[in-house]
Chain A
Amino acid sequence: MQAILAMIRKDLQLFLADRRAVVMGLVAPVAIASFFGSIFSGSPDAERAKIPVAIIDQDRTAVSRGIVEGARGDQYLLVSNPTADEARDAVKKGTLAVAVIIPQGFGDAAGRAFFTGAAKPELNVLYDPSRSTELGLVRGVLTEHIMQSVSAEMFTGDQGRTLVDDTLAAIDAMPMAGQQQAMLRDLLQSARKFYSAPAPAAAAPAAPGATAAAPAPRRGLSMPYAVKEEAVTSGDNVSYNGYAHSFAGMGIQFLLLASIDLGVGILLERQRGLWKRLRSAPISRLSLLAGKAASGSLIALLTLTVSFAFAMIVFGVRIQGSRIGFAAIALATALMASTFGLLVASLGKTPGGTRGIASLSVLLMVMLGGAWVPSFIFPAWLQRLTVVIPARWAVDGFDAMTWRGLGLQAAVLPTLVMLGFAAVFGTLAVARFRWEEA
């Protein structure tokens, strides 16, 4: 035990001896997590970034004008009206996410397709392939405005009236029974009367001297429901704090990067002959690795503690769930990271080469673990695969204990999984460690 404690003390002294490395090891995760947290914090007061969209109206009908006006008023879109060539150029340069060209004849064809099942007109959409997420949002928003504009024109506009007149004139030639033709004629004649009647708002003033009311707005189909959104967090008055997630993700990323230092440090000790001195002492192999794992875990815990302390003080992150669960996950994560460092040392040959390969592994691990971007944007097969990534369990565990506010029970599985990873990494490290020092 004395030897293990001596190794821990020595490794902590070495860690603290390089003040620049200490500062970078603690400041870097805080800085990056703060940046990501500010992006993903989801504050309701934050100004929403609008998607730049160009709409080129080559149709110039009531329908197309309605679409443009609807889009202009939308909270998600920032609409401009360049020419088609300018729009294509802007998309190509990446200054514009999406350009929508409403071709000539669109309004007329859309109206006929709406009621008669005629061929549907095409809406030309130019988009930046690197911003396909924004394309999806624009498509959804435009669908609403197109349906509103087309239906408004068909129910209350000239185009709807013309369609009724044309259909009435063609009823006799339609291949249907006489009784059905009569019923359709009655229906359409009622519709013609509806179109011919003055709009209520455009009627004469109710009393002499009163001001005439403004024409009633054209009304088309609208969304038949309203959405009541409720962010489900740890409590009624607790809002989602994106910094909790980003500090968890970045904390784990830098924990794993620090574990590479642990592994490479062992290789450097071997290169400098220090490991010969350690091995010549009457110490078991298990004690040597346990000492390394313990010091690595302590440094990892220190990194996590500083990161979360900063998040709590500056960004108001709180452990809304179980504090014991949070501590258990932090301990298990630190142990997992330090045993990963031992594995790096056992598999590596040269310090330089090992650092490169290990860094790539860590970056892949944290990326797949959802530390950079939420894992829901991954393909389904990849999401299933991430259960074998320890970083994902760590991030999920910290999320559960912070902003989700879940109890100790929710910490059990992530903790056990992380300890399992630590056991696997540790066993592999012991099995593959090069003990002979020639």
Chain B
Amino acid sequence: MLDVRGLRKAYGDLVAVHEISFSLNAGEVVGLLGPNGAGKTTTVSMIAGLVVPDGGQVLIDGSPLAGDTDPKKQRIGLVPQDLALYDELSALSNLQFFGALYRLSPAVLKTAIDRSLTLVGLADRARDRVGTFSGGMKRRLNLAASLLHDPDILLLDEPTVGVDPQSRNAIFSNLETLKAQGKALLYTTHYMEEVERLADRVVIVDHGRVVAADTLDGLQQYAPTGAGRVSLETIFLALTGRTLRD
């Protein structure tokens, strides 16, 4: 469904992303892992059309994304790392606005809003101002806002940052539902246990390059010699080192 081929992006002398390639299939969750500054967010931004790559292609069902108004962007839903919501407006007004950006008709938009709010458990808070929501509720609404146009591909950039275990669990349930519906999910996070729970495959990047891409079982090949079956975090540290990146 989504093919990322040789994506490259540099800011002056700094190469943020260097020839990154991977693919994402329907009904699959791919975890995109990497230390801070590894190029995860830049990669996601290039897939979402926020950043123009210096090289490489983003293919959706074999066709490259071309320009800001390419209708294929309709098939992508972005869940930004930030809480990209208007605190001053109600949840309903937020969703009405974000849905209108995808040119949904009023009837379709209403159905989509009801469906999304129900999925994330906020249907009864639709008319409340977002500023009154807890962090977890905002995170769930952040997800709902990305689902209105019923995208096939969901790009999730650290969607559980700063939420309590209950909200995190609720978001996981939402994502598992979406996966079951056949959506393709690209999931970036620093929480290894999230990837272990959700991901079918994992792509680990560092210094703008893919250093490993495999299933959770397949990644065991990178475990330290003689360590037996190890956690994803151990493998991650083995591949990316223990040097602080901030």
- Chain A residues engaging chain B, CB cutoff 8 angstroms: 2-3, 5-7, 9-10, 13-14, 17-18, 272-274, 276-285, 436-438
Quick check: B81 and A273 within 8 Å, CB to CB?
Answer: yes
Quick check: A273 and B100 within 8 Å, CB to CB?
Answer: no
Quick check: A276 and B73 within 8 Å, CB to CB?
Answer: no
Q: A279-B49, A437-B45 are in contact. Are A274 and B68 (CB under 8 A)?
A: no
Q: Give a binary string over B152-180; 1 marks a CB under 8 Å from any A CB, 0 the rest.
A: 00000000000000000000000000000
In the complex, chain B residues 43-96 whose Cβ is within 8 Å of any chain A Cβ: 45, 48-52, 68-71, 73-74, 76, 78, 80-86, 88-89, 93, 96
Residue of A nearest to B81 (CB): A273
Residue of A nearest to B155 (CB): A280
Tell me if B191 is interfacial: C-beta within 8 Å of chain A.
no
Quick check: A276 and B86 within 8 Å, CB to CB?
Answer: no
Tell me if B116 is interfacial: C-beta within 8 Å of chain A.
no
Quick check: A6 and B101 within 8 Å, CB to CB?
Answer: yes
Chain A nearest CB, measured from B173 CB (Å): 23
In the complex, which of the residues A14, A273, A274, A280 contacts B76, with contact meaning CB atoms closer than 8 Å? A280
Quick check: A280 and B89 within 8 Å, CB to CB?
Answer: no
Quick check: A438 and B80 within 8 Å, CB to CB?
Answer: no
Besides A285-B68, A436-B51, 5 other A-B contacts (C-beta < 8 A): A276-B50, A281-B101, A283-B69, A284-B68, A438-B41
Residues of chain B contacted by A276 (CB below 8 angstroms): 45, 48, 50, 78, 80, 82, 84
Residues of chain A contacted by B81 (CB below 8 angstroms): 273
Q: How far is the CA of A438 from the CA of B68 in the complex (A)?
A: 15
Q: A10-B97, A13-B89, A18-B88 are in contact. Are A279 and B50 (CB under 8 A)?
A: yes
Nearest 10 Cβ contacts at the A-B interface: A273-B82, A6-B100, A281-B101, A437-B50, A273-B84, A282-B73, A280-B78, A17-B88, A273-B80, A10-B97
Q: Is the interface of B mostly helix, strand, loop or mixed?
A: loop
Quick check: B88 and A284 within 8 Å, CB to CB?
Answer: no
Interface size class of B (residues with CB under 8 A): 35 or more
In the complex, which of the residues A17, A272, A273, A438 contacts B42, with contact meaning CB atoms closer than 8 Å? A438
Tell me if B102 is interfacial: C-beta within 8 Å of chain A.
yes
Tell me if B145 is interfacial: C-beta within 8 Å of chain A.
yes
Quick check: A17 and B89 within 8 Å, CB to CB?
Answer: yes
Residues of chain A contacted by B52 (CB below 8 angstroms): 436
In the complex, chain B residues 90-114 whose Cβ is within 8 Å of any chain A Cβ: 93, 96-98, 100-103
Residue of B nearest to A5 (CB): B100
Chain B nearest CB, measured from A290 CB (Å): 13
In the complex, which of the residues A2, A6, A272, A437 contacts B51, with contact meaning CB atoms closer than 8 Å? A437
Quick check: A438 and B45 within 8 Å, CB to CB?
Answer: yes
- Chain B residues engaging chain A, CB cutoff 8 angstroms: 16, 41-42, 45, 48-52, 68-71, 73-74, 76, 78, 80-86, 88-89, 93, 96-98, 100-103, 145-146
Q: How far is the CA of A436 from the CA of B45 in the complex (A)?
A: 9
Q: A277-B80, A279-B49, A282-B68 are in contact. Are A14 and B101 (CB under 8 A)?
A: no
Chain B nearest CB, measured from A285 CB (Å): 6
Quick check: A284 and B73 within 8 Å, CB to CB?
Answer: no
Quick check: A6 and B69 within 8 Å, CB to CB?
Answer: no
Quick check: B83 and A3 within 8 Å, CB to CB?
Answer: no
Q: How far is the CA of A189 from the CA of B146 in the complex (A)?
A: 110
Quick check: B69 and A2 within 8 Å, CB to CB?
Answer: no
Chain A nearest CB, measured from B190 CB (Å): 18
Q: How far is the CA of A277 from the CA of B145 in the complex (A)?
A: 9
Chain A nearest CB, measured from B133 CB (Å): 15
Residue of A nearest to B102 (CB): A281
Residues of chain B contacted by A272 (CB below 8 angstroms): 82-84
Q: How far is the CA of A437 from the CA of B49 in the complex (A)?
A: 9
Chain B nearest CB, measured from A40 CB (Å): 38
Residues of chain B contacted by A2 (CB below 8 angstroms): 100, 103
Residues of chain A contacted by B80 (CB below 8 angstroms): 273, 276-277
Quick check: B86 and A274 within 8 Å, CB to CB?
Answer: yes
Residues of chain A contacted by B101 (CB below 8 angstroms): 3, 6, 277-278, 281, 283
Give 17 CB contacts A-B under 8 Å.
A3-B103, A6-B101, A9-B97, A10-B93, A273-B81, A274-B85, A274-B86, A277-B78, A280-B48, A280-B76, A281-B98, A282-B70, A436-B45, A437-B45, A437-B51, A438-B16, A438-B45
Quick check: B50 and A436 within 8 Å, CB to CB?
Answer: yes
Residue of B nearest to A291 (CB): B101
Residue of A nearest to B47 (CB): A280
Chain A nearest CB, measured from B37 CB (Å): 12
Residues of chain B contacted by A281 (CB below 8 angstroms): 73, 98, 101-102
Q: How far is the CA of A420 from the CA of B65 in the complex (A)?
A: 36
Q: How far is the CA of A284 from the CA of B68 in the complex (A)?
A: 6
Q: How far is the CA of A280 from the CA of B51 in the complex (A)?
A: 10
Quick check: B145 and A273 within 8 Å, CB to CB?
Answer: no
Residue of A nearest to B97 (CB): A10
Residues of chain B contacted by A14 (CB below 8 angstroms): 86, 88-89
Residues of chain B contacted by A279 (CB below 8 angstroms): 48-50, 68
Q: A3-B100, A10-B97, A436-B52 are in contact. Are A282 and B69 (CB under 8 A)?
A: yes
Q: How far is the CA of A3 from the CA of B50 in the complex (A)?
A: 18
Q: How far is the CA of A274 from the CA of B83 in the complex (A)?
A: 8
Chain A nearest CB, measured from B54 CB (Å): 12
Chain A nearest CB, measured from B234 CB (Å): 30
Chain A nearest CB, measured from B32 CB (Å): 15
Q: How far is the CA of A10 from the CA of B145 in the complex (A)?
A: 15
Q: How far is the CA of A7 from the CA of B102 in the complex (A)?
A: 12
Q: How far is the CA of A436 from the CA of B68 in the complex (A)?
A: 11
In the complex, which of the residues B71, B84, B88 contacts A277, with contact meaning CB atoms closer than 8 Å? B84
Q: A2-B103, A276-B48 are in contact. Are A283 and B84 (CB under 8 A)?
A: no
Quick check: A10 and B51 within 8 Å, CB to CB?
Answer: no
Chain A nearest CB, measured from B223 CB (Å): 33
Q: How far is the CA of A281 from the CA of B68 in the complex (A)?
A: 8
Q: How far is the CA of A279 from the CA of B101 in the complex (A)?
A: 10
Chain A nearest CB, measured from B60 CB (Å): 12
Residues of chain A contacted by B69 (CB below 8 angstroms): 282-284
